[in-house]
Amino acid sequence: MRQAGERRLPEFIAPVAASVRDLEIRRIARVCVTRTPRAALLWYGLAVAIYLFLLFLLGFDQGDLAAAPIG
């Protein structure tokens, strides 16, 4: 439903306006994913999770530390 004063776009412009609106939404989403403190914390958590997963794949666990010779 249109609001008061809102104009209807011609049929050939409507798809262009929709794609511009989608691009704007994507730009805002990209900024939210790359430039906010919460995003930084999520990326850091992802990096730590990948690091721990790789350690697990390499077979590194607490038993290796306990069996390591001292000195």
**Do the domain assignments include residue 54?**
yes
Provide the domain limits for residue 47: 14-67
**Do the domain assignments include residue 3?**
no
**Do the domain assignments include residue 61?**
yes
**Do the domain assignments include residue 7?**
no
- DSSP class per residue in 23-48: HHHHHHHHHHHHSSHHHHHHHHHHHH
More confident residue, 29 or 70: 29
pTM above 0.75, yes or no: no
* pLDDT computed for residue 36 by the predictor: 74
d(CA 37, CA 40): 5
**Do the domain assignments include residue 38?**
yes
pLDDT by residue (tens digit) across 37-56? 877 888 888 899 988 888 77
Decide if 28 contacts 35 (C-beta within 8 A).
no
The total domain count for the chain is: 1
**Residue 26 pLDDT level (bands cut at 50, 70, 90):** confident
**Do the domain assignments include residue 4?**
no
